[in-house]
Structure 1
């Protein structure tokens, strides 16, 4: 299989060999040329317009490829409509490959996917599995236009390819499956980029790149998700129609050629009549992003206004290089939401200076939320009075805004700009929320609290925090129970999974743990199928029992798995065995190349490093097994493993981590090592300014 259709196959004089000749391709950049050879099985051909689509799997994989074929057709149809242009290549093959290090690769006409991303059993797969598969497929097919038909001139504009495909995939899925509410998942994904970009060791979206090898360090959350967030912010500012018209102009101008970001800004400026590059340049050329502090101000004799201030947001303070030098500034197409009673309206302002006042017409608002629809890539601070007003107004904020605010408030705490009490007050106010995406955002903060702060405060504080979590969310478990029926709404299934993870996983509810262990035994030993939705959480929580028989059954389940989902479920549950012989057995699984693909074993090791109970043992194992890991895993996976070392290790290990990786350098790992060092420093500062606050809150 290659980029173009097969012209002919012929036997050669050499026994057992044949020659395959392909049609000529349109002009392609060399990195998009692909050849795949193997015992592939092809799906039946499906047409979308003039394009023939097939999905190729290893033998026996076709029953798991039906969803991928459907997602490809639905994505391609919408992409052709969005770009107002047919798919630019004569055919489209999707290939499911075992142990492919990247999630996928957008080779023109022959897209490679990691099998665990693309293949799924629709009777078993969760909503998250489907979303992940569909998002990856839509992302790669977006590249057929943005990246393949028009290619970046050099790797400093790698972000143009990846950011646009990331943003476009969510646009496509929002149109195809509006019930997924996929932009809520994007806001959670955005947290990864906001976290990395609040480090001094971050990098610009469009950094200077000297060699192709340097580009490998930039396949990260900044390039993909920050860039996509900037495009989303720009699209909201210009309007969907003008943005789409500008992109179409850019594609037509540079078809089958190379282009730069300036070329895109030029096309958008021509359509919108605005200096787009001037607005966007700070977002792509500067490291970091701003925090916006917004408050309403009423002054005698003047119309009520919004007081807006911006400065760079960092978790750690930084020294100014020159006396009097201020924070960098951004041109922020700011969009806020104000409300009075149940009535809300949006207000906008282009914030270009450190401090400006925005006009506010209409009735005096009772509250203000400073990132309407979470359209902007920045943190928000509403001040003490604004915070209280928003707590009362929570029902009037959109789901996107509630999810975003949870992340913003916890970031303020970690940066020393707000007390732990504010984050916990916000979470407590959300205790009856049934939205699974909001519960996922809450879970992320609570996991961080337990891993980064409560553990260092001692076992008594840990137990108090867990009891507080049960008190806040336990009633929801009584409502959803352990399992539901097959006709249950997907959203309720997702809610159950998050409540199980919060109350049974983080809070370690003994009743839930026992119920999960009993249910897991029936599944693992008696073959009783798990109900849809929360199977991963049931198995993972059951594994915390530490039972050797359960661990043995999970390892057997990894080897005998018939779907990528069951293989990963059983493998990742091994991370819950965090002590004794069972803990060592789980660690050995990370280097057992015959057990599972390298990418899955890397994920298991990262989970073990991120768990307070197993982090120190996993760190010792990583050091002793490093040479084996280097042989088994590509640099991109090794860099991710290194990045996980700061997740749960005690801060005292920071110098040892740095020393080890200075002696065992990564091919492209200098930045990730700086980020690890910074993460340890942030954890130290968090304990200094928040430990007493947490203790007082839980005592009260």
Structure 2
């Protein structure tokens, strides 16, 4: 049996075809009993059957394999370290079909993985519900199985539960029998699917219900009394299923061959992109198609809010589970940002019903096929449903997060080798999701919308109910577009990192050179095939080409017009301009000559180049000053984020200049903040509502006294009346942060009041909003209280990470706290990806070589596979910060520049 230990994949002696699973959860004792009968094909002569199992008690006497006769194993051994169950038989099993039977017992754990318990209240009484979370490799904690995505099978599930509870699974119930206080529910057989998509939920719930035009019943389940909070998600889900089912692409026949603008959506909602009038019947080329080529394949779709849930949501086939914050929306107490998150997460999870559930990655190396595509498609759907949100501009936040992680030497390729189940959790990160989505957007932009969609539909149709690898997708796109997709994309998925394209004007030539970008300032040896797009002085004439070598030049003629490379940030790379081109772009930003996507991109690239010490902080600050009258939410949001980071690093490098930095940042944000004001305006946009909150929060964190005074006044009104119009949901974080800025050990009233609000609310979004504000206090004693509060039963384990975002004043406190509580933290969160958040949140903000060494020494004997990559990345960020601090300290012109900017009146 020893030969099976330490293997990343199961041996292929037998292939599962169908599972018949019976589960009986005991919600009071927090345990469960079960049995499974697995129809197998034995494909080679073997004395062994090897499958996955973990945290289960197997009854050896119950194990049998029946083929032409019954076989009983001579040895049954569970290897917990490798999470495998090995069954050894005295004689070789005959090849062909057979049936494996196993009885087992398990614990409804509190780790938010496998078959676990979540808690909720009914009329003041605390109750348990039973929930499954099997991705990536935790179905084995509920029943013995071939727990790999390629081992697709059909599942028939039977549940025995208390008769007063709701019990849900992937499929509708086929039969229900009540036997005394219990009921036995048998569910219809599922289509072929992977084990990680099996789902069961048992508890007491309310629901709201809708239906698609072709009869798919859609329900949103939630805690009793919260049903009205499910209506928004229900509406989004019904419309999104319709949207994914059928799209129409209409192009005006006169410009179809050279179209730059198109509308992708349902015919009933088709509007002319520049005027709002219908295109129907106005001389158009009309292309009708099903976007995914295959309709949604189950008879129902349930979505359920779970009070304790580690991830944001999980795309279980036909029974999608969510955090409450990602599914429920309260008209009175949820912010605009909450509404947007619900819409994008629902669209993401429903995209998975095709990308992931219908067509499934062959192994976790190809996780990005699931997550990158679902992320990209969620923006497509959200943009169609809510065009006023300008969601594709907000997609740049995804791009930026992908670029920031992938700029580390400790990044990993999109296609990453996985050698053990314990390594999988760490790749549910910005590479798989955000870089994955960004390279898809880049490829779609290069190939064009219509060929890309057509090829994608062909891919889904070909691999429906099967498994696929990245190269299968490239083959489909290459065949459908006629472009060398495989050659183009391999450099983006099989090697980590990305290029910085340096652009220099030399007479009438624009010279391009690519090198690998690393935030450390080092130079990597990667090389890519880069889709270059550019325009000069106007967006009417664009040039594009593939940069296949290290360098190339393009004729741009004479003139002093601005030149923008990587138009609308469609490419996954950064651009570094020479001084002349930078000056032209800075002027174009001030004159609002560039799109908001390009304004965003120039700023973000400049920040990254400054951090990597490729340009001075002075030049970055000079560029930031050009955004002092920036009107757009996404650009200003990024400007705020960059200001936080620059402020923290400046405080380490030049503490004597910190006040000037703060005054400069306040001056940047005051114009827009005063224009918006504190009070929402009738009919204002969704984006203005989000922007107001972010601007006022930024001013509060910068210690802007008028903002702090107003925050205190409105918070007091809120304490007197929770429904006061003075503090709508979009403003609450700003007020909470403002209140905490003035809290200290001798003035605790604001802190105590905020804790009172936390304890009184039952809205998850409000609780996380408060947790995210508490640690912004500058007083170290209060920060320690907040951190200790995170470990109390008052804070659900899923939410503790929201309170870790301490300011610069709290870094040392947080580090000491992490060390002092490491054993408890490791035990509580160590078996899931949330553990990585503790490490990155506490370690990454430091900016000294000495602190990096201290962190390395502490973790030398405490590292385990689940946090190894995150720890290396966090330490690399500390070294990057430390080098940046050194560089800033040697920047001679910085002092005069920041003082001048700090005194400037906007």
TM range (shorter): over 0.9
CA distance in 2, matches of 1:659, 1:518: 47
CA–CA distance in structure 1, aligned partners of residues 459 and 558 of structure 2: 43
Would you say 1:553 and 2:753 are equivalent positions? yes
1:143 to 337, 344, 352: 352
Alignment equivalent of 2:585, drawn from 371, 381, 390: 390
Q: Name which of 183, 188, 192 aligns with 1:27.
A: 192
Distance 1:249 1:363 in 2: 46
Give the CA deviation at 1:61. 1.8
Deviates further, 394-403 or 123-132: 123-132
2:278 is matched with: none
Equivalent residue, structure 2, for 1:641: 838
| Pairing partner for 2:383 from 174, 192, 196 | 174
Flag the 1:281–1:650 CA change in 2: closer, same or farther, 3 A. Answer: closer
| Displacement of 1:359 | 4.8
Rate the CA distance shift 1:236–1:368 in 2: closer, same or farther, 3 A: same
**Residue of structure 2 in register with 1:531 after alignment:** 728
Are residues 1:102 and 2:300 paired? no
- Alignment partners' CA distance in 2, 1:451 and 1:161: 36
Partner of 1:338: 536
What is the rounded CA distance, in whole Å, between the counterparts of 1:666 and 1:191 in structure 2?
Answer: 29
1:8 counterpart = 2:184: no
> Aligned pair 1:464/2:629, yes or no?
no
Superposed counterparts of 1:164-243, under 5 Å:
164-243=373-452
Indicate if the aligned counterparts of 2:170 and 2:200 stay in contact, CA closer than 8 A. Answer: yes
Question: Is the contact made by 1:167 and 1:229 (CA closer than 8 Å) also made in structure 2?
Answer: yes
SS of match in other structure, 1:60: coil
Q: Deviations along 1:355-396, whole A, 9 cap, x unmatched?
A: 012354x87561211110100000111111110011111212
Answer with 186-195 or 623-632: which moved more.
623-632
Richer in helix (by share): 1
Deviates more, 1:429-438 or 1:284-293: 429-438
Return the offset for 1:69.
0.5
> Aligned runs of 1:2-401 on 2, under 5 Å?
2-12=169-179, 15-81=180-246, 82-298=291-507, 304-318=508-522, 327-339=525-537, 344-360=540-556, 364=559, 366-394=561-589, 395-401=592-598
SS at match of 2:571: coil
* Structure 1 position 615, deviation (Å): 1.5
C-alpha distance in structure 1 between counterparts of 2:814 and 2:539, whole Å? 52
Cα distance in 2, alignment partners of residues 631 and 91 from structure 1 = 38
Deviations, residues 157-214 of structure 1 (Å, cap 9, x unaligned): 1111110001110111111111101122221232221111111111000012223332
Give, in angstroms, the shift of residue 285 of structure 1.
0.2
CA contact 1:374–1:400 (8 Å) conserved in 2: yes
Task: Report how far residue 17 of structure 1 moved.
Answer: 1.7
- Worse overlay, 285-294 or 665-674: 665-674
Matches of 1:525 and 1:204, distance apart in 2: 53
Q: Is the 8 A contact 2:847 2:881 kept in 1?
A: no
Decide which of 592, 608, 632 is 1:411's aligned counterpart: 608
Contact 2:447 2:483 in 1 (8 A): no
Candidates 473, 478, 499, aligned match of 2:695: 499
Task: After superposition, give the CA deviation of every residue in 1:24-47 in whole Å (9 maximum; x if it has no partner).
Answer: 111111111111111122213433
Shift in Å, 1:498: 2.6
Does 2:649 match 1:440? no
- Partner SS, residue 757 of structure 2: helix
Give the drift of 1:476: 3.0
CA distance in 1, matches of 2:471, 2:847: 45
How many corresponding residue pairs?
Answer: 678
Structure 2 gaps of 5+ residues are 1-167, 247-290, 901-906
Structure 1 unaligned residues grouped into runs of 5+: 299-303, 321-326
For residue 438 of structure 1, report the CA deviation from its aligned partner: 1.1
Matched residues in 1 for 2:489 and 2:539: separation? Answer: 33
Alignment check: 8 A CA contact 1:554 1:571 kept: no
State whether structure 2 residue 814 is matched by structure 1 residue 618.
Answer: yes
Aligned match of 1:583:
783
| Alignment match, 1:301 | none
Q: Alignment partner of 1:577: what SS?
A: coil
Counterpart position of 1:543: 740
Q: TM-score, normalised by structure 2?
A: 0.73
Q: Which stretch of structure 1 is more off in the superposition, 425-434 or 570-579?
A: 570-579
Larger C-alpha radius of gyration, 1 or 2? 2
Stretch moving more, 130-139 or 485-494: 485-494
Which structure has greater strand proportion?
2
Q: Which deviates more from structure 2 when the two are superposed, residues 118-127 or residues 249-258?
A: 118-127
Contact 2:302–2:318, Cα closer than 8 Å, also in 1: yes
Deviations 1:46-94 (A, max 9, x none): 3342311001112112111111101111211111122143112221000
Q: Distance in 2 between matches of 1:107 and 1:587?
A: 34
Q: Is the 8 A contact 1:574 1:586 kept in 2?
A: yes
Q: Secondary structure at the match of 2:775?
A: helix
- Which is bigger in relative contact order (C-alpha 8 A, separation at least 6)? 1
Question: Is the 8 Å Cα contact of residues 646 and 676 (structure 1) preserved in structure 2?
Answer: yes
**TM-score normalised according to structure 1 size:** 0.93
Query: Alpha-carbon deviations, 1:431-456, whole Å to 9, x = none?
Result: 01121211111011110011123333
Of the candidates 797, 811, 816, which is equivalent to residue 598 of structure 1? 797
